[in-house]
Every structure is written in structure tokens, then in C-alpha cells.
Amino acid sequence: MKTIVTTDRKCHSDSVALAGEMAAKLNIELIDRNQQSVAGMMRRYEAQAVLVAKGKELHLYTAEGELFFHPNMSQLRVKNIRLGDKDHMAEAMELKEGMSVLDCTLGFGADAIVASFVVGESGRVTGIEASPLIAAVTGYGLQNFLASNYELHAAMRRIEVHNSDALDFLRQQADKSYDVVYFDPMFRHPLRSSTNINPLRSVADARALTVEAVTEAKRVARRRVVMKEARGSAEFARLGFAKIAGGKWSKINFGIISVE
Ligand SMILES: C[S@@+](CC[C@H](N)C(=O)[O-])C[C@H]1O[C@@H](n2cnc3c(N)ncnc32)[C@H](O)[C@@H]1O
């Protein structure tokens, strides 16, 4: 996918600096915005994606829509946890303060932020993302987004991001080096209600999770390997997740493999 990077129309100094940083980091062409529309730039430069630096934010435009980092879902989940509610993912992971989590499919980081909040300062969350564009947008957002409360802010800043294929990364990890290894791959059969993640589909790595990756995850995990998928998905059985958890009415389930 040909991607170019540019600034917002105002060419604010922060945007210019950020666009330059991303051009170097991602090794993509930096184009002067020069009042052009994003759609016009896509046509003119035959690009399928345009990364736009807007002050201290990165927005990614594709034909399917706009993507940017925002901790909206995680913010709500963190708020609910603070009010004493249960979070299905954290429950499936049996997550506690001080634990370490390897999130093999970081995406826009909502699950990683919730995990980071629950494990706290004494814990550790590492996020792996195969798409260089998503890793760049999420990695930058986690380090720079100004959250409304300190706990969320600190939880985002603590997450370590790597642009890598999950299996490649897992192979380099020592046995039992993370308490939980987590997978949330692109669902085999997307939920019809999740139209908001449609723009993500064009840039995300949509490959199915492999048995090999799950085998490596079992070696790297001290306690559990957890996978999110649609309720009733055949992926749970194919990949050996015999125990299934999740909300009674939820369209999403969590498969659990205990390795303790
Ligand atoms: C459904 S999204 C994850 C959403 C994420 N849990 C969140 O809360 O925002 C799946 C992400 O995993 C990435 N991905 C898929 N396969 C991968 C792999 N083998 N290694 C690393 N990342 C992968 C995709 O590019 C996509 O960004």
C-alpha cells in the first residue's frame, strides 16, 4: 500500500516536525500539503493511504475512511473498573496488579490500555503490531495523547510498542517471560455492528492466528494465553482454546488456555 505523509493545511510547526519524524521513521515520502485535499493527494500521488500530522496528532486516511488514536473505549472501560465493574477481558486474563501482559495484536491499543491500568505501575504491558502504520499511529498516540485523568494517562505512557509480526516477536522471548499472552486478531467473520473498524481493515494484518503462534504463546506465558473472537467462532476449537469466557449477552468471547 503506497503511503505518503503530509501536514494539516495550516502547516503548524508541530505538524511539520511530526510529519518529518514519521517520514523518516516509516521511510515514506513527505509531501508539502500546499492546501491540497487529502483525496486530491491520493489521486495525484497514486497513494492508497495518507498520513496527516495535525499538531500533535496523527490521522491516517484511506479510501475506507479516517483512523486516529483515541482512548475512547478504554476510557469508559477504565472508568467502569474504577467504579467496581468487571471487565470481561481482565477477568479472562485473571489480571492483577504487578502482572505482565504481551498483547500480540495491539491495534489501536484499547485492550492494552485497560490491561496497563489493571496491572498498574508495578506491572508491564508490551504491545506488538504487524502494520507499520498502525504501530506508528498507536505508538505515537500512547506517548502523546493528553488523557483526561492521570491513571489513564500513566497507563498509556507505560505501554511499550513494537512493530513486528507476533510470531517473530514470540520466538525471541524466553520461556515463561510474560504472565499473559493475548491475541485479538481480526475476526474471521467481522461483526456487522463493528462498522467503525472498517477503515482499520484496509491497513490491518488480516491473517488468521496460527497454531504455531499459539504454541509459542504457550511457551512464553507463565499463566494464560487468551484470545478474543466472536461468540461461537470455530477459531476457538481450531486453536485449542477449550475454556471460553465472556459476558452472557456479549457478541464477543474470550478463549483461555491455562499453562500453570
Ligand atoms: C482487532 S485489531 C486489535 C484491536 C486491539 N485489541 C484494540 O483494543 O484496539 C487486530 C490488530 O492486530 C494486528 N495483527 C494481526 N495479526 C498480527 C500479527 N500476526 N502480528 C502482529 N499484529 C497483528 C492487526 O494489524 C490489527 O491492528
For residue range 206-218, list pLDDT tens digits in order: 999 999 999 999 9
Position 73 scores a pLDDT of 86
Ligand 1 atom, smallest distance to 134 CA: 27
Encode pLDDT of 126-152 as tens digits.
999 999 999 999 999 999 999 888 999
Which residue stretches of the chain have pLDDT < 50? none
Task: Find out whether the beta carbon of 137 lies less than 6 Å from any atom of ligand 1.
Answer: no
Ligand 1 centroid – CA 102 distance (Å): 12
What domains, with CATH codes, occur in the chain?
A: 3-63 (3.40.50.10480), 72-258 (3.40.50.150)
DSSP state string for the chain: --EEEEE-TT--HHHHHHHHHHHHHHT-EE---TT--HHHHHHHTT-SEEEEEETTEEEEEETTEEEE---HHHHHHHHHHHTT---HHHHHHT--TT-EEEES--TTSHHHHHHHHHH-TTSEEEEEES-HHHHHHHHHHHHH---SSHHHHHHHHH-EEEES-HHHHHHTSPTT-EEEEEE-PPPSS--TT-GGGHHHHHHS--PPPPHHHHHHHHHHEEEEEEEEEETT-THHHHTT--EEE--TT-SEEEEEEE--
Position 257 scores a pLDDT of 98
Using an 8 Å Cβ cutoff, are 112 and 150 in contact? no
Position 195 scores a pLDDT of 56
Ligand 1 centroid – CA 139 distance (Å): 13
Position 196 scores a pLDDT of 60
Q: Whose CA is nearest to atom 1 of ligand 1?
A: 186
Task: Find out whether the beta carbon of 123 lies less than 6 Å from any atom of ligand 1.
Answer: no
CA distance 22 to 158: 21
Position 40 scores a pLDDT of 96
Position 96 scores a pLDDT of 97
Task: Find out whether the beta carbon of 86 lies less than 6 Å from any atom of ligand 1.
Answer: no
Task: Find out whether the beta carbon of 105 lies less than 6 Å from any atom of ligand 1.
Answer: yes
Q: Whose CA is nearest to atom 27 of ligand 1?
A: 107
